[in-house]
Structure 1
């Protein structure tokens, strides 16, 4: 009998196929005592498993970067290879085997749980979900130790693909599926920034995550439909439902093929309003996707990926080269680079960890950078030096106080003075902008517009701080609502302040890349969007169909509403997509 489950929609599209359950090896680990004379053999067993997994990852990395061309996936595999080499992981497990005379599987799981506890203290959703790397690399080791790495079924005679059903998936897992007819991914855990979500979007494979116990609710080979746009999974559907979704999938595929025709079309509304569509990136490796979408520039370059998962900070020269590569690749198009957006709660290896009562409200983003002026000055010098290679804009995250802006601008002036004294070239006109991510900033914009050259709304954090919601917490994720009247008023107020004072305002959070919100944001006055490169053409299509003159009065009426249900209905009537 058919039944439906609802999860988090993280990669759009329709998939129809047969379920293939991936075992959760960590649930099968038993604890047993190892006699002292057999300890060397147990350690050899652990070392053999380590060598096997390292070999697998090397092969998968080659497939990711050459056969498939997905460098972002390759970067995730690099991260897991780094973890295998980290003394905090395998070496610590070896020590447990020796000291407690336990089996290798149990030792690995104990160390994994210790590290996961540390990751749980991290506030940033993306970085906190990197604990999945630890879990996934340990599970890979455990599967080798248990002797059942698992295999995918051969191609099916009925022509339907395979729906991968798992507790969680790693990038290495997904690359291993490349020679199989994979139709979609479904997992118990995960969120919008989980590996499954990121890889599924890159590979254009429908995915729904956060379904809790789906692995226990279906059987191998059972027919499954995934609606990755609505976050719906249908198990054992009847033929009429299957046919309905076949037709819907065909319509989506036709729409997707049409999108490529507008890649070089100028982005403007029906009534002539020019709209700029920029890309969010994590480094030079993403430039290929930016070019493929013909983005108008880079609206958010996350520099923290230069800093995380390493024993030492990147020096000025390494940072300079990374920034220069992106600026040169983008030519005359603007590149907005965000300064270091990681906090002391994120346990950088080269610095002593701090225990904070509430990391979400602690020393993070610009607060952390200002507390480490030497580190911050190094980054600012590298940024300014790179500015001669393109059109650079520097963006500062999580500003809330005038003194934070003034201190930042003071350090920028100091970096400029040092470079002048050294005879180094840089662009004296580099613009400094502010990210509006906390309600305090959105409600006191006067102090920003007097000090900065542009603003960018980080809707992910703004929504979380406004509603006191952690969107990666399954228990409260249903309360994370971009259409809450308070959130919309803060976004609209920021956009309108930019128009009033002549400052460009962008949105670089997830709302910018979701077609369901494009018309709403255009009606608010937004003209600068920044998103994952894969979303740009879908948003451009919405822009080309929009008439701002008609949208603006409708959106003003929406902003006067104070009932979330009425807001949602009104936004749906604007058109744009599924909310």
Structure 2
């Protein structure tokens, strides 16, 4: 067949070469028929049995997660368990069977269609990702109902254990992803998704090339087609010529050798050639992530996303973690880091990370009741977490990071809650760090534009670039139709970053970046040249970022940084950035 190229959204780095393995979803176009009154309860039981079976399957997958599996996978599978347990999925279709006499498949699809239509009316990336979750859970139930469960991962004409596989799908659920763990898969290609889809997050954690948001790749690519993923460029080459295949194999070999060398840098300090030390920190989701982060060479944890503790659940009953459970989790991470700092972000739940419990049932847009807004609306929940964090601070260096603050009263109320937690612990005779540092996550433009009220009252700032870019540019990050407008080099973003680092320097407080920009090697020189001295990222990205820093002279970048910050022309900014990247020898990278 003739070779052709597809363009999508690059969400990880590297090159993958292999055969296409098409992951066919259960068709949502199912049989529609009415059942008689005498058959209604039997049909209800058939759907209930399918839901129970899927629940057991998800539990089994969660229980069988290997030690080295990305922690994000377990959290995402937990979300699918919660969705499956939600009355909108577990009960509403049963009512449809009883009232309309629909067969089980028809009732489930009708409910999913109605939910999907509601999501389509909301232009928000977090909610869009939840729509994909709901559809993936429904497809899993449909596979059981139609007798096709267990066949999704099989293919004809390919030896899965001997050939490198590139998974091609409309979308890939976390549970399906785990079923590939014993197979030699080397990349992912999906029609849907964006920078924050499950496929994107897991592929970055695994260090596997992936391109998402490709539209109709799963219809254009045939089973067993040879594919090349250039995930730096966001390109998939279908049926490449022998010459192109050999060129990419050579580039792949160079990249693999270079990455192997990076493993020797674990204990090397990240110091530029002109003697400026940059602190490289790790982002973690669960306490067991701390030890691997330390092993990867992290100088500490720059972002412990505590909400994943609240989302962990392997059963139907999902309860909020107690103070003691949170304390043990935080203490585990703190002790694992052996004295290195651990920054714990307080509960950042909202539309992207719902707490689906009886008492705390929230599913709001990114502009709704989430993060610190939610915590201040639930003071007892917030106080319990603060007590747990403070108690853990007795076992090592701990910082408290408050997300999504934009108002002065949010700062004051948060600090007051921390003082209340300290007072309670003192009264109870429990140890904690009385001078624990408290900082704000700067991820709302309003916060970046009102920094004086932050630096006067807080000890440090941490920039969440993902949300800062989304809110500043009004871009739905998960919508591939507008994903090309998501631009971390937009002049407005660069101006905001410069304002934040300047405010921190003047106030004498540290400023870190813990969003996606911190782990993007294209931007390392720009960020450090602007003045950022702390970068926090997934642990897998630490070695190549460290290598970039070791090959950098900051004093040689200043003129170029000033030129970028003065420019409002996209082409000029990118051209200058390219010049910065060529000033000193760097590790071979792909473009």
Using structure 1 for the length normalisation, give the TM-score: 0.92
Find the counterpart in structure 2 of residue 279 from structure 1: 282
Contact 2:161/2:184, CA 8 A, preserved across alignment = no
1-side partners of 2:115 and 2:160: how far apart? Answer: 44
In 2, the alpha carbon distance for the partners of 1:343 and 1:204 equals 28
Q: 1:56 to 1:121 in 2, by over 3 A?
A: same
Question: CA contact under 8 A between 1:26 and 1:109: conserved in structure 2?
Answer: no
1:279 and 1:120 map into 2 onto residues whose CA distance is: 35
Does 2:167 align with 1:164? yes
* Pairwise CA distance, 1:208: 0.8
SS in 2 for 1:455: strand
Match of 1:349 among 343, 357, 362: 357
Asked whether 1:225 is paired with 2:228, we answer: yes
Indicate the RMSD between aligned Cα atoms, in angstroms: 2.7
**Cα shift at 1:523:** 0.5
Q: Sort the Cα spacing of 1:60 and 1:422 in 2 relative to 1 into closer, same or farther, 3 A.
A: closer
Residue deviations 1:208-247 (CA, integer Å, cap 9, x gap)? 1111111221222222211122211111222221111111
Equivalent residue number for residue 35 of structure 2: 34
Q: How many residues are paired up?
A: 576
Instruction: Report if the CA contact (8 A) 2:14-2:590 is conserved.
Output: no
Question: Is 1:411 the equivalent of 2:417?
Answer: yes
Corresponding position: 1:192 with 2:200: no
Residues 156-175 of structure 1: per-residue CA shift (max 9 Å, x gap):
59975222111111122122
Q: Which residue of 1 aligns with 2:95?
A: 95
Residues in 2 aligned to 1:315 and 1:157: alpha-carbon distance in whole angstroms: 44
**TM-score computed with the length of structure 2 as normaliser:** 0.90
CA distance in 2, matches of 1:477, 1:157: 33
Q: Does 1:261 align with 2:264?
A: yes
Aligned in 2, Cα 1:192/1:4: closer, same or farther, shift over 3 Å? same
Shift in Å at residue 59 of structure 1? 4.3
Structure 2 Cα separation of the partners of residues 323 and 387 of structure 1 = 9
Aligned to 1:319: 326
Cα pair 1:519 1:574 within 8 Å, conserved: yes
Q: Which residue of 318, 342, 346 maps to 1:339? A: 346
Tell me whether 411-420 or 88-97 shows the greater mean CA deviation.
Answer: 88-97
Equivalent residue, structure 2, for 1:234:
237
Partner of 1:396: 402
Partner of 1:10: 11
Unpaired stretches in structure 2, ≥5 consecutive residues: none
CA apart distance, 1:525: 0.9
Counterpart CA distance in 1 for 2:326 and 2:127 is: 20
Query: How big is each residue's C-alpha offset from its partner over 1:334-373, in whole Å with a ceiling of 9 and x where there is no partner?
Result: 01111122248957533476897xx443333222222332
Shift of 1:331: 2.2
Aligned twin of 2:20: 19
Moved more, 364-373 or 321-330: 364-373
Q: Per the alignment, in what secondary structure is the counterpart of residue 15 of structure 1?
A: strand
1:81 CA displacement: 3.6
| Residue matched to 2:496 | 490
| Residue 65 of structure 1: aligned partner | 66
The answer as to whether partners of 2:193 and 2:479 remain within 8 angstroms in 1 is no
Q: How does 1:377-526 map to 2 (within 5 A)?
A: 377-526=383-532
Report the CA distance between 1:459 and its aligned residue.
0.8
Deviations 1:127-148 (A, max 9, x none): 7524433222221121222223
Q: 2:203 touches 2:210 (CA, 8 Å); kept in 1?
A: yes
Moved more, 235-244 or 173-182: 173-182
- 1: distance between equivalents of 2:520 and 2:444? 21
> What displacement does 1:438 show?
1.8
Aligned residue for 2:475, secondary structure, equals coil
CA–CA distance in structure 2, aligned partners of residues 370 and 400 of structure 1: 13
Which deviates more, 113-122 or 518-527? 113-122
Q: How far off its partner does 1:51 sit? A: 4.7
Alignment partners' CA distance in 2, 1:85 and 1:377 = 28
1:545 and 1:212 map into 2 onto residues whose CA distance is: 39
Relative to structure 2, which stretch is displaced further, 43-52 or 460-469? 43-52
Which is bigger in relative contact order (C-alpha 8 A, separation at least 6)? 2
What is the distance in 1 between the residues matched to 2:363 and 2:271? 49
Q: Which moved more, 1:443-452 or 1:109-118?
A: 109-118
- Cα distance in 1 for residues equivalent to 2:222 and 2:278: 48
C-alpha separation in 2, matches of 1:10 and 1:129: 15
Contact 2:125 2:479 in 1 (8 A): no
Q: Are positions 1:143 and 2:143 aligned together?
A: yes
Q: Is the 8 A contact 2:54 2:140 kept in 1?
A: yes
Q: Distance between the aligned counterparts of 1:126 and 1:303, measured in 2?
A: 18
- Does the 8 Å contact 1:15/1:225 carry over to 2? yes
Partner of 1:573: 579
Farther off after superposition, 425-434 or 18-27: 18-27
CA distance in 1 between counterparts of 2:449 and 2:59 reads 50
Aligned equivalent of 2:554? 548
Secondary structure at 2:557's aligned position in 1?
helix
Aligned pair in 2 of structure 1 residues 126, 220: CA closer, same or farther (>3 Å)? Answer: same
CA shift for structure 1 position 553: 2.5
CA contact (8 A) 2:112 2:138 kept: yes
Q: Contact 1:11 / 1:207 at 8 angstroms: preserved in 2?
A: yes
Q: Specify the alignment match of 1:530 in structure 2.
A: 536
Q: Given that residues 288 and 332 in structure 2 are in contact (C-alpha distance below 8 angstroms), is that contact kept between their aligned partners in structure 1?
A: no
| C-alpha distance in structure 2 between counterparts of 1:47 and 1:366, whole Å | 38
- Once the two structures are overlaid, the 10-residue window that deviates more, 315-324 or 430-439, is 315-324
Query: By how many angstroms is 1:487 displaced?
Result: 0.7
Contact persistence 1:463–1:481 (CA under 8 A): yes
1:278 to partner: Cα distance: 0.6
Aligned to 2:298: 295
Provide, for residues 153-212 of structure 1, a one-character-per-residue CA deviation record: whole Å limited to 9, x for no partner. Answer: 465599752221111111221222233332321111112222222232333322111111
Deviation at 1:567, TM superposition (A): 0.5
